[in-house]
Amino acid sequence: MLMIISTLGSGPSGSALFVLARRIGQEQPDSFETMHVGDDGALRDRFIREAGLAAQVAAIIEPALESRGFRLVRVAISGREGKTVQVMAERPDGTMRIEDCEAVSREISPLLDVHDPIAGAYWLEVSSPGIDRPLVRPSDFVDWAGHEAKIELKEPIEGRKRFRGVLEGFEAGEIRIEVDLDTAGHNVKGLPVGLVADAKLVLTDALIREALRRAKKSNEVGSGEARAARGSREED
């Protein structure tokens, strides 16, 4: 069963998310509630980066996330419900459970308190990328090959800035995507990753099934690790 989570602040529209929110700069009990939630190293580096204040926050928290086995997807800062800092993160396999959101929140909250990049009180939201997730690493286009995506470029190629089609992977610095070029029919295009302004998956039945399959597999692995840890403690 797909559970959709949100909070007093909401995550990006159109996504099923796990979200954990926390008020920073004001004493308040922590809570979350149910509602709407070249080489291998280079392939896994983010090519879409934040600007301004969001970039400062990303620079502070990204090393800490990586040290705990998580990957930063993106940071966004909005003004609704006061001021909200949205941190989207995931495990290397693309999954993110509620307990993972809690762990990330506990890890980065003290860092933001110490570095204090944002004046005044604000909400911190930690969420999963959602099903129709942003694609921010070259490896994302490999991991989600076979699924539909929308890509917007910073400048046009052959008169087009927006492309929608089925991902074919990533090769030689280019995103491979099969698109319908009207009279030319379906063709696989190579889009230079350096020109990409925004990219995300398109919500389809096939994508939902695959996301649920991956989430189930991740939960089974997590349950197995927990049982192994309990057995080890009992032996001690």
CATH number at residue 154: 2.30.30.180
CATH number at residue 22: 3.30.300.70
- Domain stop point among 127, 157, 176: 127
Do 148 and 105 fall within a single domain?
no
Do 145 and 189 fall within a single domain?
yes
> Which pLDDT value is given to residue 5?
34
Do 122 and 12 fall within a single domain?
yes
Q: Per residue in 188-217, pLDDT tens?
A: 999 999 999 999 999 999 999 999 998 888
Position 48 in a domain: yes
Q: Which domain holds residue 161?
A: 138-201
Do 48 and 111 fall within a single domain?
yes
From 16, 4, 7, select the one nearest 133 (Cα to Cα).
Answer: 16
Q: Per residue in 3-49, pLDDT tens?
A: 333 333 333 333 345 566 666 664 433 333 332 324 556 788 999 99
Type of residue at 71: R
Domain count, the chain: 2
Do 117 and 96 fall within a single domain?
yes
- Domain stop point among 105, 127, 149: 127
Q: What is the mean pLDDT of the chain?
A: 81
Do 87 and 155 fall within a single domain?
no
Position 91 in a domain: yes
Position 210 in a domain: no
Q: Per residue in 99-115, pLDDT tens?
A: 999 999 999 999 999 99
Position 100 in a domain: yes
Position 212 in a domain: no
Phi/psi class of residue 173: alpha, beta or left (left: φ > 0; alpha: ψ in -120 to 50)?
A: left
Extended strands (E) in the chain: 5-6, 19-24, 33-34, 71-78, 84-90, 122-127, 148-157, 160-171, 174-180, 186-192, 196-201
Position 145 in a domain: yes
- pLDDT of 166 > 90? The answer is yes
Do 33 and 95 fall within a single domain?
yes
Position 144 in a domain: yes
Do 109 and 20 fall within a single domain?
yes
- Locus of tokens 């989570």: 5
The answer to whether 17 touches 37, Cβ cutoff 8 Å, is yes
Rounded to the nearest 10 degrees, how much is the dihedral formed by the CA atoms of 93, 98, 103, 107?
Answer: 90
Do 81 and 185 fall within a single domain?
no
> Which pLDDT value is given to residue 111?
96
Q: Which two tokens stand for residue 69?
A: 């086995």
Do 55 and 150 fall within a single domain?
no
Do 114 and 15 fall within a single domain?
yes
- pLDDT of 96 > 80? The answer is yes
Q: Measure the CA–CA gap between 111 and 95, rounded to whole angstroms.
A: 24
Position 207 in a domain: no
**Residue-wise DSSP of 17-35:** --EEEEEESS------EES
> Which pLDDT value is given to residue 164?
97
Which helix (H) or strand (E) is 216 found in, with range? helix 205-235
- Residues with Cβ < 8 Å from 175, sequence gap 6 or more? 138, 141, 151, 167, 190, 191, 193, 196, 199
Mean pLDDT of 57-86: 91
Do 108 and 33 fall within a single domain?
yes
Q: What are phi and psi of 178, to 5 degrees?
A: -85, 120
